[in-house]
């Protein structure tokens, strides 16, 4: 009998609502965590009551993004950005990144999404 190792991975459709309209936030990057298994982007934004909310947005792994020309310096704390993402199914301030728009309008870290609609948060 031979043994094999199996790698497990969570499905993004379990954590994020891939069928809901996309969410959009404007805010300030607090951290760009360039690490595996997923690069994460942390953004402070204000809610309807003016309270600061820190969103955690997941993206692809380091290798996939590096192949596209991105690196650990692509985003820096203090940068003003707009983030478009698939929202969490739980309503928590987390999501799956679709794209980041820099203050000058340049779109980066794009992920292909078929048929997704947008909504503001």
Is position 59 within any domain? yes
What element of type H or E holds 64? helix 62-67
Is 8 part of any domain?
Answer: no
Task: Say how many domains are in the chain.
Answer: 1
Q: Give me the domain span that covers residue 34.
A: 15-114
pLDDT in tens, 63-110: 999 999 999 999 999 999 999 999 999 999 999 999 999 999 999 999
Q: Given the structure tokens 């499905």, which residue do they identify?
A: 11
Whether 1 is in a domain gets the answer no
* The residue count for the chain: 121
Q: What is the CATH number of the domain that holds 82?
A: 2.40.50.140
Q: Considering the entire predicted model, what is its pTM?
A: 0.82
């Amino acid at each position: 009998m031979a043994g094999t190792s199996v790698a497990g991975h969570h499905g993004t459709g379990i954590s994020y609502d891939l069928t809901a309209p996309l969410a959009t936030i404007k805010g300030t990057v607090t951290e760009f965590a360039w690490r595996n298994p997923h690069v994460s982007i942390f953004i402070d934004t204000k809610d309807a009551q003016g309270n600061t909310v820190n969103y955690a947005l997941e993206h692809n792994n380091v290798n996939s993004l590096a192949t596209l020309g991105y690196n650990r310096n692509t985003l820096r704390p203090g940068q003003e950005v707009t983030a478009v993402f698939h929202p969490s199914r739980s309503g928590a301030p987390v999501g799956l990144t679709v794209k980041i728009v820099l203050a000058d309008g340049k779109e980066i870290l794009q992920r292909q999404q078929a048929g997704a609609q947008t909504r503001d948060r």
